Amino acid sequence: MMNDLDAIVATAKSAFAQARTPADLENAKAQFLGKSGRMTELMKGLAALSVDEKKSRGAAINLAKQAIEAALNASRQALADAELATQLQAEALDVTLPGRQRGQGGLHPVSLAQERIEAIFGSMGFDVAQGPEIEADWFNFTALNTPEDHPARSMHDTFYVEGGSATAPNLLRTHTSPMQIRYAVQHVKRHRIAAGDSGAGLFSGAMPEIRVIAPGRTYRVDSDATHSPMFHQVEGLWVGENISFKDLKSVYLNFITTFFETDALQLRFRPSYFPFTEPSAEIDIMFESGPLKGRWLEVSGSGQVHPQVIRNMGLDPERYIGFAFGSGIDRLAMLRYGVNDLRLFFEGDVRFLSQFQ
Ligand code: PHE
């Protein structure tokens, strides 16, 4: 039969087990082990017993007390374990979820090609200039020896804007050649002033050479796998006192072998026609190895700057002469990166674009 002490221990255990919080547990503890708790009362009761009874009853009470303390500690531990388990669950991490990523940006392949071109010509002493995309008829055509009734204009059909005039911006430029005029006129003006020249008439004094490239967007009414209504060109211009086709050939060969990182290619000039150069030539290249091996590929128009264009720059063609070229940047980027459809460059599909990073 259960004695009174065993009964108290059992009651204490079940009271501790029912405690849901540490505060509940401490309240339950006070009922048994506190100053006026059940065990303390029992100890006080010892005073009325004989010495022998005190001994055996005292030892039994102590055993019961220890059992209650052990149960209390076990319950404290259980509550702490449960609290930790709840916390871990609330803060659980799914380590199998994919990590959060910040998208890494990068340059467009056409921009990468343009940066290469600028660096290569920069190393050959060429300035890099930018010009307006909405251009005046004068710069895009007339100053380039292409008057209004010239048949060459029909190959440069473009987009016209409202409110322009022959000298105010009225069209989207069809090539970067207007930059030949814009840049040269500024260059000549600056050096005439520096030389104390009055500025009237064509300039035939001494000045530093004009050596510039002008990359940028150009526009024509044209659209298929190799033509886009917006495309990129880079203009090159070198004007001095004795600049000839042989300079054009050495500069262009140096450029193209550096751009494609190979000497295994050939360059040829194919006679052509542009109103602003005379003579004029298309520049073709042929790779001697690789997937494009053996095919002549057109990469640029070029020629010796026409005397009338030299005049429109403000220079005396008896003293100044030079060459110009205009190359398709998109075409060069397609060849360098092995892209077979120009339109991929302008669709903005990251699956395509991320391959160039
Ligand atoms: N502007 C010409 C074109 O777009 C290319 C060119 C530039 C030709 C400079 C000769 C000299 O077709």
Q: Residues 220-239: pLDDT tens digits?
A: 998 888 888 999 999 999 99
Contact 284, 298 (CB under 8 A): yes
Residues 242 and 145 in one domain: yes
- In short, whether 301's Cβ falls inside 6 Å of ligand 1 is yes
Q: Is the pLDDT of residue 215 over 90?
A: yes
- CATH number reported for the structural domain that contains residue 270 in this entry: 3.30.930.10
Residue 98 lies in a domain: no
Residues 23 and 134 in one domain: no
Q: Is the pLDDT of residue 167 over 80?
A: no
The per-residue pLDDT of the chain, averaged, comes to 93
Counting from 1 in the atom list of ligand 1, the atom nearest the Cα of 218 is 4
Choice from 154, 270, 276, 321 to test ligand 1 binding pocket (greatest atom count within 8 A of CB): 276
- Answer with the one of 90, 119, 147 that is the final residue of a domain: 90
Structure tokens at 6: 């065993």
Residues 116 and 83 in one domain: no
pLDDT category, 191, cuts 50, 70, 90? very high
- pLDDT for position 238: 98
- Answer with the one of 60, 90, 120 that is the final residue of a domain: 90
The region of weakest confidence among 23-27, 31-35, 120-124, 195-199 is 195-199
Q: Is the pLDDT of residue 259 over 50?
A: yes
Choice from 175, 182, 213 to test ligand 1 binding pocket (greatest atom count within 8 A of CB): 175
Q: How far apart are CA 212 and CA 321, in angstroms?
A: 15
Distance from the alpha carbon of residue 54 to the mean position of ligand 1, in angstroms = 120
Residue 101 lies in a domain: no
Residues 52 and 175 in one domain: no
- In short, whether 177's Cβ falls inside 6 Å of ligand 1 is yes
Counting from 1 in the atom list of ligand 1, the atom nearest the Cα of 180 is 9
**Once rounded to an integer, what is the mean pLDDT over residues 77-82?**
92
- pLDDT for position 1: 44
Please state the domain count of the chain: 2
Residue 313 lies in a domain: yes
Residues 136 and 240 in one domain: yes
Distance from the alpha carbon of residue 303 to the mean position of ligand 1, in angstroms = 8
The beta strand positions in 129-248, using DSSP E, are 134-136, 169-172, 210-219, 230-240
**Once rounded to an integer, what is the mean pLDDT over residues 318-334?**
97
Q: Sort 318 into a burial class: Cβ within 10 Å, 0-12 / 13-18 / 19+.
A: exposed
- pLDDT for position 169: 86
Q: How far apart are CA 237 and CA 14, in angstroms?
A: 98
Residues 25 and 166 in one domain: no
Give per-residue burial for 199-238: e unless 16+ CB within 10 Å, then b. eeebbeeebeebbbbbbbebbbebeeeeebeebbbbbbbb
Q: Is the pLDDT of residue 164 over 80?
A: no
- pLDDT for position 317: 98
What residue's CA is closest to ligand 1, atom 12? 301
- In short, whether 274's Cβ falls inside 6 Å of ligand 1 is yes
Instruction: Give the rounded distance of the alpha carbon of 214 from its chain centre.
Output: 23
- C-alpha R_g of the chain: 45
CA geometry: angle 174, 177, 181, nearest 5 deg: 130
The region of weakest confidence among 11-25, 157-171, 199-213, 267-281 is 157-171
Residue 236 lies in a domain: yes
- In short, whether 326's Cβ falls inside 6 Å of ligand 1 is yes
Domain that holds residue 138: 109-356
User: How much of the chain exceeds pLDDT 70, in percent?
Assistant: 99
Residues 84 and 119 in one domain: no
Distance from the alpha carbon of residue 302 to the mean position of ligand 1, in angstroms = 6
Residue 269 lies in a domain: yes
User: How much of the chain exceeds pLDDT 90, in percent?
Assistant: 74
Distance from the alpha carbon of residue 279 to the mean position of ligand 1, in angstroms = 12
- pLDDT for position 173: 97
Residues 272, 274, 276, 282, CA torsion sign: negative
Closest CA to 333 of 263, 260, 283, 261: 260
Residue 330 lies in a domain: yes
Residues 151 and 266 in one domain: yes
- In short, whether 302's Cβ falls inside 6 Å of ligand 1 is yes
Residues 270 and 188 in one domain: yes
Choice from 177, 321, 327 to test ligand 1 binding pocket (greatest atom count within 8 A of CB): 177
Residues 204 and 320 in one domain: yes
Residue 320 lies in a domain: yes
Residue 104 lies in a domain: no
Residues 212 and 319 in one domain: yes
Counting from 1 in the atom list of ligand 1, the atom nearest the Cα of 175 is 4
Choice from 243, 274, 298 to test ligand 1 binding pocket (greatest atom count within 8 A of CB): 274
pLDDT digits (tens, 9 = 90+) for 93-116: 888 988 888 878 899 999 999 999
pLDDT category, 294, cuts 50, 70, 90? very high
- pLDDT for position 2: 60
Q: Is the pLDDT of residue 301 over 70?
A: yes
What residue's CA is closest to ligand 1, atom 10? 302
CA geometry: angle 57, 61, 64, nearest 5 deg: 140
- Answer with the one of 57, 90, 123 that is the final residue of a domain: 90
Residues 242 and 347 in one domain: yes
- In short, whether 303's Cβ falls inside 6 Å of ligand 1 is yes
pLDDT category, 3, cuts 50, 70, 90? confident
- pLDDT for position 163: 82
